[in-house]
Chains A and B, each alone.
Chain A
């Protein structure tokens, strides 16, 4: 099954990427090449096999820990915002969302 140019543009939208036409075309070729490798997966019998999302279950670290509900970090707003593209009075600036 091959992807089409429409698939690429739909996926690019979902991934919030604005691709140049040339870039879309290259991505289409590459992703289709990759999905040729993926075809061999369909032939593998996996009925009754539980999907393995994570190696944690194999290393015995199954249960996700919960830490105490306690404040452990001091206020670091300034440090945390030092690399923000646009900040004013401690707030992140974004384009207007609500008219």
Chain B
């Protein structure tokens, strides 16, 4: 405990200040997080390694004592199990990678370590990041801290749940079709997916390479800005799609005035499928932004609904190619019994992958196969361009786009088990920005049905992360949605 309240209630900025003021040490803080993680009721963590965590914390305290404190020195972070780590096992939520140890750290992991952060452990996710409820994890579901019977969202479900449960102040996530924004929305935390190419994909286990993008999750926009500034930056030798842009200070304009800001509301995001409680929460948050001087304008993203088939064709096609590397030879699961090389491949892959991963691999294989490539894969890519152009037209009329993150609040665990398509449809509002490669975030906007959290989605133009964080921060200065926490936490 410190004078400002329990350590687990503090965010990244506050912890950074406390560490700097020597109100507590990185070691005390790491011990506090580990103690909470060990009694975690959400099943957020897939791996802890207290020895490594405490050694990192001691090293951090030593750097501070020597006058070499880095910007986020001593602040704890946990990583989605999609990022490979040398000191913790990495499974991507799959049986395929049970026991896998990476010989290196992902660039995002390394950059946050260079910024002084201490790794608490690895966080659960949908298998290979394929899912919207964290129910596709081979190691069991994650429970939403707001209601243990409900999903935390996905695929970065462990990241969102661990933040809402106050187990860690910061987490990494990855977003291919909404996997940072939707769990952030479902758990009432803040998360941002930067412009495609901002965060290096090196060491981020590949699902759909033209869409995958890492980003930070935390409990405030201010904290996300600190984390994003540390984890972005060019990685030209290791990720051919890494943007050659210098690292940016995303905290610099957090307090900028919103007067005159034009917020575009896509009419397609506010149709009949939107749950009334979600609509009310989003509209209330928008009204707050209006009070801060922003103007709301109606815009159109006419191909919103098409984003679902387009995304699930492109992502499946890329997944079928990316996941062909799991052949039971160099790493990953190998079947115990087989009779030749082909049967070794087939049995190893059948045993190692879960049902949803297999379905996406097969869908991808099908749309890439002879006779179907033009009708499905190329047609999807053409519509992808039209979707990106719709955004270009929209940004002529507004500075930032806002709407719901998802049509509903978090659903019950098991509710969609017999109907995986229901999960696909629920991704409708996050998929368009992913296809275009635009930055987008989720900001808590109160609660909807069943008292469950609702997120406001903000979508920016390319490289406009600072603007999104500015809007989110001003909203969080004016409201307390992001401070609300689940009962019992």
A interface residues, Cβ below 8 angstroms from B: 3, 7-8, 11-12, 14-20, 23, 26-27, 30-31, 33-34, 37-38, 40-42, 44, 46, 49-56, 58-61, 64-65, 67, 72, 76, 79-86, 92, 94-97
Residue among A3, A7, A18, A94 having the largest count of chain B Cβ atoms under 10 Å: A18
Closest 5 pairs (CB-CB, A-B): A55-B437, A51-B381, A79-B103, A85-B334, A52-B385
Q: A17-B350, A19-B350, A85-B334 known; A56 and B309 CB under 8 Å?
A: no
Cα A38 to Cα B243 with chains together (Å): 32
Are A51 and B385 neighbours in the complex by a CB distance under 8 Å?
A: yes
Are B342 and A16 neighbours in the complex by a CB distance under 8 Å?
A: yes
By a CB distance below 8 angstroms, the chain A residues around B333 are: 85
By a CB distance below 8 angstroms, the chain B residues around A44 are: 303, 306, 379, 382-383, 386
B320 proximal to A (CB < 8 A): yes
By a CB distance below 8 angstroms, the chain A residues around B342 are: 16
Query: Within the complex, what minimum Cβ distance (angstroms) separates B329 from chain A?
Result: 5
Cα A60 to Cα B103 with chains together (Å): 33
Are B309 and A37 neighbours in the complex by a CB distance under 8 Å?
A: yes
Are A8 and B362 neighbours in the complex by a CB distance under 8 Å?
A: yes
- State the majority secondary structure of interface residues on A: loop
By a CB distance below 8 angstroms, the chain B residues around A16 are: 324, 327, 342, 345-346, 349
By a CB distance below 8 angstroms, the chain B residues around A81 are: 330
Query: Within the complex, what minimum Cβ distance (angstroms) separates A12 from chain B?
Result: 6
Q: How many residues on chain B are close to A (CB under 8 Å)?
A: 74
Known: A34-B309, A44-B379, A92-B330. 19 other contacts (CB 8 A): A11-B365, A12-B362, A16-B327, A16-B346, A17-B346, A30-B359, A31-B359, A34-B312, A34-B424, A37-B421, A40-B306, A44-B306, A46-B379, A49-B386, A56-B196, A59-B195, A61-B243, A65-B240, A92-B329
B272 proximal to A (CB < 8 A): no
By a CB distance below 8 angstroms, the chain B residues around A8 are: 362
By a CB distance below 8 angstroms, the chain A residues around B51 are: none
By a CB distance below 8 angstroms, the chain B residues around A76 are: 103
B interface residues, Cβ below 8 angstroms from A: 99-101, 103, 195-197, 210, 236-237, 240-241, 243-244, 303, 305-306, 308-310, 312-313, 320, 324, 327-334, 338-347, 349-350, 353, 355, 358-359, 361-363, 365-366, 369, 375-376, 378-386, 388, 420-421, 424, 435-437, 462-463
Are B349 and A17 neighbours in the complex by a CB distance under 8 Å?
A: yes
Query: Within the complex, what minimum Cβ distance (angstroms) separates A38 from chain B?
Result: 4
Cα A80 to Cα B349 with chains together (Å): 21
Are A23 and B358 neighbours in the complex by a CB distance under 8 Å?
A: yes
What residue in chain A is nearest B361 (Cβ atoms)? A15
Query: Within the complex, what minimum Cβ distance (angstroms) separates A94 from chain B?
Result: 6
What residue in chain B is nearest A27 (Cβ atoms)? B359
22 A–B contacts from the bound complex (CB under 8 Å): A16-B346, A17-B358, A17-B362, A18-B346, A27-B358, A27-B359, A27-B362, A31-B359, A31-B363, A37-B309, A37-B312, A44-B303, A44-B382, A50-B382, A52-B382, A53-B381, A60-B243, A67-B237, A72-B237, A85-B332, A85-B333, A95-B341
What residue in chain B is nearest A77 (Cβ atoms)? B103
Query: Within the complex, what minimum Cβ distance (angstroms) separates A96 from chain B?
Result: 8
Cα A83 to Cα B244 with chains together (Å): 33
Query: Within the complex, what minimum Cβ distance (angstroms) separates B28 from chain A?
Result: 33
By a CB distance below 8 angstroms, the chain A residues around B366 are: 3, 7, 11, 31
Cα A91 to Cα B389 with chains together (Å): 50
Cα A31 to Cα B424 with chains together (Å): 12
By a CB distance below 8 angstroms, the chain A residues around B324 are: 15-16
Are A41 and B309 neighbours in the complex by a CB distance under 8 Å?
A: yes
Contact of B369 among A14, A49, A52 (CB under 8 A): A14
Cα A8 to Cα B362 with chains together (Å): 8
Are B103 and A58 neighbours in the complex by a CB distance under 8 Å?
A: no
Are B381 and A83 neighbours in the complex by a CB distance under 8 Å?
A: no
What residue in chain A is nearest B243 (Cβ atoms)? A61
What residue in chain B is nearest A54 (Cβ atoms)? B210
By a CB distance below 8 angstroms, the chain A residues around B343 are: 18
Cα A87 to Cα B73 with chains together (Å): 40
Are B369 and A51 neighbours in the complex by a CB distance under 8 Å?
A: no
Query: Within the complex, what minimum Cβ distance (angstroms) separates A71 from chain B?
Result: 12
Contact of A56 among B197, B328, B362, B382 (CB under 8 A): B197
By a CB distance below 8 angstroms, the chain B residues around A19 are: 350, 358
Cα A4 to Cα B460 with chains together (Å): 43
What residue in chain A is nearest B420 (Cβ atoms)? A30
Are A94 and B358 neighbours in the complex by a CB distance under 8 Å?
A: no
By a CB distance below 8 angstroms, the chain A residues around B244 are: 61, 65
Cα A22 to Cα B375 with chains together (Å): 29
Contact of A55 among B210, B378, B379 (CB under 8 A): B210
Query: Within the complex, what minimum Cβ distance (angstroms) separates A24 from chain B?
Result: 10
